[in-house]
């Protein structure tokens, strides 16, 4: 099983940018924690960050046939990007979106969310711990898919 973690614009500035909102943790530290949990659970994990919308679209497309699930924080593109939304819909993989801050309690423009309707689930406002919750959620989704596949195989005549 492989999870791809996709991080949008300015998330490479975590630990520096608006610490009162996003906290002191750097992206590398968040990824190191995720990697540890993935390894403990025998899951492959890949990380990708870009400030460019097209590169994020390319990465989502690359997940098709390569990954079993996507964890994505599209950052500011969450509120504007039909292209990222369409890419997620196109690959049709289980996808969990994470927002470090609670986007529903901030400026009005952050309540607009292009991504959420094509994601399996959204985790907002837990700080960096949201990424851990997303991984736990993804493991659960994978287990459910596997159980459903096994049940289907068992039903097929020998």
Catalytic residues: 22, 99
Asked if residue 80 binds ligand DQA (CB under 6 A), the reply is no
Is residue 68 within 8 A of residue 90, CB to CB? The reply is: no
Binding to ligand DQA (CB under 6 A) within 13-52 occurs at none
What is the arrangement of strands in the sheet containing 95-99, beginning at the earlier edge strand? 44-49, 2-7, 69-73, 95-99, 121-124
| Sole binder of ligand DQA in the list 26, 35, 110, 132 (CB under 6 A) | 110
CA atoms within 13 A on the CB side of 2: 10
**Does 85 interact with ligand DQA (rule: CB under 6 A)?**
no
Q: Does the protein bind ligand DQA through residue 83 (CB under 6 A)?
A: no
* Secondary structure element (H or E) that encloses residue 105, with its range: none
Question: Which spans of this chain sit near ligand DQA (rule: CB under 6 A)?
Answer: 10, 73, 75-76, 78, 99-101, 103, 110
């Amino acid at each position: 099983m492989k999870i791809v973690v996709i991080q949008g614009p300015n998330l490479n500035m975590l630990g520096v940018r608006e610490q009162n909102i996003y906290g002191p943790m750097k992206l590398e530290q968040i990824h190191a924690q995720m990697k540890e949990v993935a390894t403990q659970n025998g899951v492959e994990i890949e990380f990708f960050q870009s400030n460019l919308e097209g590169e994020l679209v390319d990465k989502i497309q690359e997940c098709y046939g390569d990954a079993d699930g996507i964890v994505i924080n599209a950052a500011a593109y969450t509120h504007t990007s039909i292209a990222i939304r369409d890419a997620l819909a196109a690959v049709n993989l289980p996808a969990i979106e994470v927002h470090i801050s609670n986007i529903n309690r901030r400026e009005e423009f952050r309540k607009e969310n292009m991504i959420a309707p094509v994601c399996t689930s959204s985790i907002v406002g837990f700080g960096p711990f949201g990424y851990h919750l997303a991984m736990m959620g993804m493991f659960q989704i994978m287990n459910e898919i596997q159980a459903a596949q096994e049940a289907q195989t068992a039903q097929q005549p020998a």
